[in-house]
Amino acid sequence: YEQILRGGAGLFDASQEVSRSEWRQYLAAYDIANRYPGIQGVGYAPVISASQLPAHIKAVRAEGFPTYNVRPATPRAVYTSVLYIEPFKDRNLRAFGYDMYSEPVRRESMNEARDSGQPAMSSLIRLIQEPEGATPQPGFLIYQPVYATHAVPTKVDERRQQIKGYVYLPFRTYDLINNTISSSEQNYGFRMFNVNNRTREEMYVSPAFAALDTQADTARNTATIEVAGNQWEIEGIMNQAVLNRNITKRPGSVAFGGALFCILLAGFVYLLLGNRHRALSEQQEEGIKAAKDELLALASHQLRTPATGVKQYVGMLREGFAGKLTDTQQRLLDKAYESNERQLATINEMLFVARSDAGQLRMERENFDLCDMVRDIADEQRGVISQRQQKLTVRVPKRPIMIRGDKQYLRMALENVLSNATKYTRNSGHITVKLSTQGNRAIYAVQDTGVGVAKKYQSLLFQKFSRIPNELTNQVVGSGIGLYLAKQVIDAHRGTIRFESSEDKGSTVSISLPRTPKSKKTSSSRRAAPGKN
């Protein structure tokens, strides 16, 4: 469900405007009615100031809705009228034009989503879609904020200024749960409450719960889960008649005798199989490891081929081979190209990991100038760094620093270090790349003013598939193998990699590599020709 919210917000991020037909076509691919039970629809509500309201109403009426109005009609500073909702029919038509921000419970959740930049769930409410006169189901909504900056601003004040609208999902609790869990079982039941600081509201009761609740011979348990910032309390009840009472009430001596027999039998089996297990375990582990590495390499290779094809075709579209593109088409293709590039980078990293674990890395070593490589890497990443409003300082000597190694793998390692610095540095942060020499070593250092890494997590940095929790983790796309990959490459080049960090103060990654020895200029000594005198 959260992916629908984030996908809808992404559509608005990638476009200046999203039309009603584009919204309908986009959501049709999700097949919501069959794949996402309980959702009444997927909607979008723009934020409208009082001065913008007349123009907004006029524009919507011009679409073919001559009676459209924002309701309730009470004057206020800010409106958030439901502009799009799919499917746009039946009970969802009641929501069209409704200002959710005018109602306190909805407004509280919308403010929470706006200030956090994350999905936020409301307390239980009666949905606008509920028909008048009928017994309503408890309902709730989940909101995903959309910002005019096309990315989540760093500070709360900026988020409040840049809020553009909300993608939201309305739910009816009984529709959601009955379509997810079978309710025909009579031997157990449950009920659910939405719990917050002020209230404990009943949101669902299964058909069997009421009958079992009156019985004495039942077992109960209560658990609490967190859903989009809300606490859901689930109380379960079970009829103990489904258990075999004869077994549960046998004398303790029988239980003791059975336990003793099991211990003796287990000891005998352990002694019998111990030697065989030790003989086979090492062979089995090697076989499992080899199969895993082969599967990883095969899967990565099979993914790489179509991803490369996608890159070529999307690149041709971006260059105009199929005709001139609109601004919206260009932005969407740029997004697709960037996403495919990230996928290709991840696939290449997976292939490297598979080859490294299998001991099949082949280094094509050559002499090259490390200064040129560092400049190229910095230039390539300036675009991303600029988008994040970060400052990049590059300090590289004018004279060449020659090393010998595999250019492809070393470039991948150095790129990962700089990429990590940009990902985990807040907007407006500062990143410094410095290349220098110390004796016969070349030193590549990347320093940032990012979120840093707490000491208790630093031992995990160079482990495979490890991602360190911090305030930016959820906003960063990654596989958790960047620094692992870098260390494998640097170790293979007889180098070292060192990490220094303080939480919330930034990090420095330093890589030391051996320089290529300077060739000695040799000259053949010549004996002076003897003089005539």
Residue 98, SS3?
A: strand
pTM, rounded to two decimals:
0.47
* Fold classified for 2-178: Beta-Lactamase (3.30.450)
- Above 90 in pLDDT, residue 435? yes
Q: So what's the pLDDT on residue 388? A: 85
Confidence of residue 522 (pLDDT cuts 50, 70, 90): very low
Domain boundaries in the chain? Answer: 2-178, 188-245, 292-361, 365-514
Confidence of residue 246 (pLDDT cuts 50, 70, 90): very low
- For residue 328, CA distances in Å to 17, 46, 319, 333, 413 come to 8, 19, 15, 9, 35
DSSP E strands: which ranges in 389-473? 391-395, 402-406, 430-438, 441-448
Please state, in angstroms and rounded to a whole number, the distance separating the CA atoms of residues 168 and 125: 15
C-alpha 531: how far from chain center: 85
Q: Are 456 and 469 in contact (CB under 8 A)?
A: no
What value does the mean pLDDT take over residues 243-261? 52
- Above 50 in pLDDT, residue 323? yes
Q: Are 513 and 370 in contact (CB under 8 A)?
A: yes
Q: How does pLDDT run across 466-509, given as a tens digit for each residue? A: 677 776 766 666 666 778 888 888 988 999 999 998 888 889 99
The pLDDT mean for the chain works out to 79
Handedness of CA 430, 435, 439, 440 (dihedral sign): positive
Residue 120, SS3?
A: strand
Confidence of residue 59 (pLDDT cuts 50, 70, 90): very high
Task: Identify whether 87 is preceded by a cis peptide bond (ω within 30 of 0).
Answer: yes
In this structure, the strands spanning 218-227 and 230-239 are antiparallel
Confidence of residue 154 (pLDDT cuts 50, 70, 90): confident
Greatest alpha-carbon span in the chain:
133
Q: How far apart are the first and last CA of the chain?
A: 104
In this structure, the strands spanning 441-448 and 402-406 are unpaired
CATH number of this structure's domain 365-514: 3.30.565.10
Cross-strand partners of 406:
365
Please state, in angstroms and rounded to a whole number, the distance separating the CA atoms of residues 85 and 72: 18
478-483 LR contacts (CB < 8 Å, sep 24+): 478/423, 479/346, 479/349, 479/350, 481/349, 481/350, 481/353, 482/349, 482/416, 482/417, 482/419, 482/420, 483/416, 483/417, 483/420, 483/509
Residue found by looking up tokens 């220094």 in the block:
500
What value does the mean pLDDT take over residues 148-168? 89
Backbone angles phi, psi at 135, to 5 degrees: -70, 115
197 against 10, higher pLDDT = 10
What value does the mean pLDDT take over residues 172-199? 76
